[in-house]
Chains A and B, each alone.
Chain A
Amino acid sequence: MSIDSTTPAPVVSARGLVGHFPVRSRGLTRRVTGVVHAVCGVSFDLYPGQTLALVGESGCGKSTTARLLLNLIRPTAGSVRYGDRELTALSQRQWRPLRRELQLVFQDPYASLDPRMTVEAIIGEPLRLHGRYEPARVRELLDLVGLNPEHANRFPHEFSGGQRQRIGIARALAVDPRVLVLDEPVSALDVSIRAGVLNLLADLQTTLGLSYLFVSHDLSVVRHLADQVAVMYAGQIVDAGRADDLFASPAHPYTAALLSAVPVPDPRRERARSRIVLDGDLPNPVSPPDGCRFRARCPVYAGRLAEAERVACRDFAPTLRAGPGAAQVACHYPQTAPTTV
């Protein structure tokens, strides 16, 4: 991502993050028969007080990337720096004090809250673990996320989906983190409820100076709140840059197709739009193709490139580098014409 002179140092930097998982045979031997290439060399910087969105479709590796970052899954290779510390080399014990500073909010507020614990116990738990429990702090946190502090003794089932996600956010905020990793935090919520949680996240970022790594498949939500965007496809970042640049003129053909597929709640605009409908599906992560992984579905490769030009796409995997616009792009033939969303 481009860095101008006024940009402060990143809070978190990932370089060449790799997450590969063995596929084992059934039966006693459990031989390794293949490798799932879930995340293949992902690099990004998260700046203080900003939101970096990792976007992509199911199976692109965005959630795995978030888990690699937090060492919930040990990276196969690569580096994660937090301030001046290298995180990938740390043991679980060395990680523990850092967990306070890097917190995770899960997608499903129905599954991530223990139904047998009161809200007071759920939010108090991280405080107790880090030895800073005070009843007043729990009430303060409930108030901070827009819930009634008097409801602290209720159980999760007594709250609606939106309220439960607020409880999940309050729990993450309990230990004063600097970075929140939000994994599809609003995907399970209805439209009218989702807006309230998105506003809350924006407010918390402003008041607490938090940095967000926001993992999402919903490009409309990402457009609304991200400062920086990294688009993932088949385990790699294919397009990265400031949200305004990326949405205005997507340089990677996949980004262009993705943006064109998102419906807009505006009938006249919808009728006037032309869609780039992609054929086919994601490549098999056990045997990702050589060269460009998007090649088999790429409308530019199929429709606009001469045979001589296609050789590059087949033989050389494009790396993320400066594109025609302000964003970085992993494509041998990036798009220059702005698309109209």
Chain B
Amino acid sequence: MNSPVLAVRDLTVALPTEDGQVQAVRGLSYEVAAGEVLGIVGESGSGKSVSSLAVLGLLPRDARVGGSVKLRGQELLGLPDRELSRVRGRRVAMIFQDPMTALNPVYPVGAQIVEAIEAHQRPGRGVAERRAVELLDLVGIADPRRRSSSYPHELSGGMRQRVVIAIAMANDPDVIIADEPTTALDVTVQAQVLEALRTARQATGAALVLITHDLGVIAGHADRVCVMYAGAPVETGTADDVFYQPRMPYTLGLLGSLPRIDNRGGRLTPIVGGPPSLLAPPPGCAFAPRCPMTVDRCREQAPLLTAVGGGHRAACHFHERLVGVSPQEVFGP
């Protein structure tokens, strides 16, 4: 792999709540290279969104963030807000789940793209306006010149999200972080938005961090995958490694829980129980209470992310027992 554009090391985030500190992220490390797509997948509360907010310094002030986030070697954590705002939108762009809250309802979308360009560059109004129309065209919006004077409420959900992607591309960023970019959208619209995201990545050459709970979206778009559970990465590797040879029972369980459109399949194998409270994470493996393979060691000692072959890594004491095992064999009755 060529040198990483974004390198996250041992990221920890603790958020204060009325009941105590929630350890929302507990040691996340990843790297992405230019042009590469890293998929971060996990269920509600796994820390996948909080970690991306931490990368851009977008968490509330009382959040305690530890570790290191390096953008082309430059440390971002602890950077004063004024310097961070030169990075946000310019070198690292972010796409959120809900485009209606990302866009300003009282300005036309073209003006919002121009604003994004002019926040970091001085190309002159005419050039910026032409660039805005070009970007709308690039993300697949028909009749971009006319659409650039539309207000967000005049556009469909899929078009709004494509406008947000156009804004993300506006300054040719090094990294685009997309947090559940298609979650609120219908499948045919999701296909349009993912297509626009692919175009954005190819046009800018940016690295993409794609955060989603949808394993199907990850399978189709990610080069490498990081599976998160209870605030920590539990398995990382190429998409093929993680989907075809999962070595962490949680990943295996997720795959066994999925109904699939390509075959009716038999009975699903759900994972019983729910994720642990992150107010007081268990001392051992966070997945131990739900894992059918659990023994005493799992409850006492947290497994580290260890190499299981090539760049494939899994956090399980018994990862070698999962070679060639089906979800039914582990989670079945």
Contacts and interface: CB of A to CB of B under 8 A. Distances in A.
Nearest to A56: B186
A190 B44 contact: yes
A194 B261 CA distance: 16
A277 B254 CA distance: 28
Contact of A275 (B191, B260, B267): B191
B181 to A, nearest CB: 13
B64 to A, nearest CB: 27
A124 B174 CA distance: 58
Interface stretch (A27-35, A42-50, A98-106, A216-224): A216-224
B220 A263 contact: yes
A192 B271 contact: yes
Interface residues of A, number: 47
A71 B239 CA distance: 48
A220 B259 contact: yes
B141 to A, nearest CB: 10
A57 B261 contact: no
Contact of B257 (A191, A269, A280): A191
Given A162-B274, A192-B43, A263-B217, A268 B264 contact: no
Given A198-B259, A247-B261, A261-B191, A267 B220 contact: yes
Given A223-B259, A263-B217, A266-B219, A199 B267 contact: yes
A41 interface: no
A243 B220 CA distance: 25
A265 B268 contact: no
A264 B213 CA distance: 13
A224 B264 contact: yes
Interface string A180-210: 0000000000111111101100100000000
Interface string A151-194: 00000000010100000000000000000000000000011111
Interface string B229-241: 0000000000110
Contact of A261 (B188, B215, B255): B188
Contacts of B240: 267-268
Contact of A279 (B43, B142, B264): B142
B192 interface: yes
Contacts of A271: 220
Interface in A55-85: 57-58
B97 to A, nearest CB: 15
B329 interface: no
Given A190-B44, A217-B187, A267-B219, A224 B257 contact: no
B188 A265 contact: no
B243 A221 contact: no
B55 to A, nearest CB: 24
A57 B274 contact: no
A244 B189 CA distance: 25
Contact of A191 (B186, B192, B254): B254
Contact of B262 (A162, A266, A281): A266
Nearest to A190: B43
A195 B331 CA distance: 12
Interface string B176-207: 00000000001111111001000000000000
B270 A199 contact: yes
Contacts of B190: 261, 263
Contacts of B191: 260-261, 275, 277-278
B258 interface: yes
A224 B192 CA distance: 25
Contacts of A258: 187-188
Contacts of B213: 190-191
Nearest to A268: B240
Contact of B216 (A192, A193, A223, A264): A264
B257 A192 contact: yes
A257 interface: yes
A265 B192 contact: no
Given A57-B187, A191-B215, A261-B187, A266 B243 contact: yes
Given A244-B264, A263-B217, A264-B219, A195 B187 contact: no
B272 interface: yes
A90 interface: no
B195 A277 contact: yes
A110 to B, nearest CB: 12
Given A261-B190, A261-B191, A262-B216, A193 B274 contact: yes
A260 B262 CA distance: 10
A57 B268 CA distance: 25
B101 interface: no
Contacts of A322: none
Contacts of A57: 186-189
A195 B257 contact: yes
A114 interface: no
A223 B268 CA distance: 13
Contact of A196 (B188, B219, B272): B272
A202 B220 contact: no
A195 B258 contact: yes
B156 interface: yes
A219 B159 CA distance: 23
A217 B270 contact: no
Contact of B43 (A191, A199, A217, A270): A191
B37 to A, nearest CB: 12
Interface in B33-53: 43-44
25 contacts: A57-B188, A190-B44, A190-B213, A191-B257, A195-B258, A195-B269, A195-B270, A217-B186, A220-B260, A221-B259, A223-B264, A243-B264, A259-B261, A264-B216, A265-B216, A265-B255, A265-B258, A266-B243, A267-B219, A267-B220, A270-B219, A270-B220, A271-B220, A278-B192, A341-B262
Interface of A: 57-58, 160, 162, 190-196, 198-199, 202, 217, 219-221, 223-225, 243-244, 247, 257-271, 273, 275, 277-281, 341
Given A264-B220, A278-B188, A278-B192, 12 more contacts: A192-B253, A195-B269, A198-B259, A199-B268, A224-B265, A243-B264, A262-B187, A265-B255, A266-B243, A266-B262, A267-B220, A281-B158
Nearest 5 CB-CB pairings of A with B: A263-B216, A224-B259, A195-B257, A195-B270, A196-B270
